[in-house]
Amino acid sequence: MDQKSLVLVKPDGVRKHLIGEIIARFERRGLKICALKMLVMTKDQAKYHYAEHVDKPFFPELEAFITGGPLVAMIVEGPNAIKAIRTMMGVTDPIESTPGSIRGDFALDKGENVIHGSDSPEAAEREIKNFFKPEEIY
Ligand code: UDP
């Protein structure tokens, strides 16, 4: 079944010139980019996006990082896209991520870990609304 995932190339990924590399991996896999933009996240957007983490001790640092520079937001679509993308990303801590995964190849830091991908269809629906109007999705 086709699913949509909200993917972010986080500000560290943009700084490391990884936008093309990450999009290329999804496209080569057969996934489709159906919406795409560059933006700087507002604090309100960050609090909505990371609602489950706002009370965690690492949130102030996470908020400063995620709002601290331009990022690329996209919607990636395809069969079982959510699981496929989570596997391609690697796990939250890049040190534990398999080489060959995006975090396993391009990150070392648990906070600055290059990429976000939705972890469920419900999360994807909620997260997509934070970045895209319906008419921006192709
Ligand atoms: N994060 C962090 N410190 C932690 C855990 C998470 O800075 O101890 C950040 C990190 O950028 C991570 C994001 O918060 O990607 C969201 O955490 P989550 O557990 O949802 O991981 P993800 O779904 O991104 O793998």
pLDDT digits (tens, 9 = 90+) for 74-121: 999 999 999 999 999 999 999 999 999 999 999 999 999 999 999 999
Q: Taking Cα atoms as reference points, which of 75, 99, 79, 96 lies closest to residue 88?
A: 99
Distance (angstroms) between ligand 1 centre and the Cα of 79 equals 25
Choose which residue among 50, 92, 106, 127 to substitute to test ligand 1 binding: the one with the highest number of ligand atoms within 8 A of its C-beta. 92
What's the CA gap between 22 and 13, in Å, rounded?
Answer: 9
The whole domain housing 14 covers 2-136
pLDDT category of residue 41 using cuts at 50, 70 and 90: very high
Ligand 1 centroid from CA 138, angstroms: 29
Q: What SS3 state is found at 46?
A: helix
Instruction: For residue 12, report the distance from its CA to the centre of ligand 1, in Å.
Output: 14
Distance CA 117, CA 109 (A): 17
Query: How many angstroms separate the CA atoms of 26 and 111, rounded?
Result: 22
- Atom of ligand 1 at shortest range from CA of 89: 25
Is this prediction's pTM over 0.95? Answer: yes
Q: Sheet containing 115-117: give its strands across.
A: 32-39, 71-79, 2-9, 115-117
- How many domains would you assign to the chain? 1
Cβ–ligand 1 distance for 115 under 6 Å, the answer: no
Q: CATH number, domain at 28?
A: 3.30.70.141
Q: Say yes or no: ipTM exceeds 0.85.
A: yes
Counting DSSP H helices and E strands in the chain, the numbers are 7, 4
Taking a C-beta distance cutoff of 8 angstroms, is the pair 44, 63 a contact? no
User: 42 is written with which tokens?
Assistant: 């507002």
